[in-house]
Amino acid sequence: MSDIAWHHQPIDWARPRKAIAQETSHMEKNDPAIIVESPCQACGACCACSSDWPRFTTEDDAVLDLIPQEFVNERGSGMRCDGDRCAALSGRIGVATSCLIYAVRPEVCRTCMPGDPECNLARRRHGLPPLA
């Protein structure tokens, strides 16, 4: 398995978190070797626009328990951020990005769509052109 093959393999989040951490430990936040397959993977701006976002909204405890604790903020109200950047975001904004917890990402992340008003606002904050 290559260093980037993880991106195409679903992660079994039912496995112990230690095993998942070991499997993904080689991934660095600014890894340029991320395969770009969608506008989101060439952007990531919405994941780096506020230290208050993404917040948990409609998720129940069983769903939230699937998110590794190192990515949850101290209040348990949303994702942990490093500055304005979600801790689960890997890669370079506007170049190549991915979500380290994509399979279990919060609902608010699932509803953000390429080219919607929130997307284009985040893109503008990072000096990227809007998507149509």
> Could you give the CA distance from residue 103 to residue 4 in angstroms, rounded to a whole number?
16
Confidence of residue 132 (pLDDT cuts 50, 70, 90): confident
Q: Is residue 65 part of a domain?
A: yes
| 130 part of a folded domain | no
Within a domain: residue 95? Answer: yes
DSSP 8-state code for residue 131: P
Number of domains in the chain: 1
pLDDT tens, residue by residue, 27-85: 444 444 444 568 999 999 999 999 988 899 889 999 999 999 999 999 999 999 999 99
Asked if the model's pLDDT at residue 14 lies above 70, the reply is no
For residue 73, what are the domain limits? Answer: 5-125
pLDDT value, residue 38? 82
The C-alpha atoms of residue 19 and residue 17 are separated, in whole angstroms, by 5
Q: How far apart, in whole angstroms, are the C-alpha atoms of residue 53 and residue 89?
A: 12
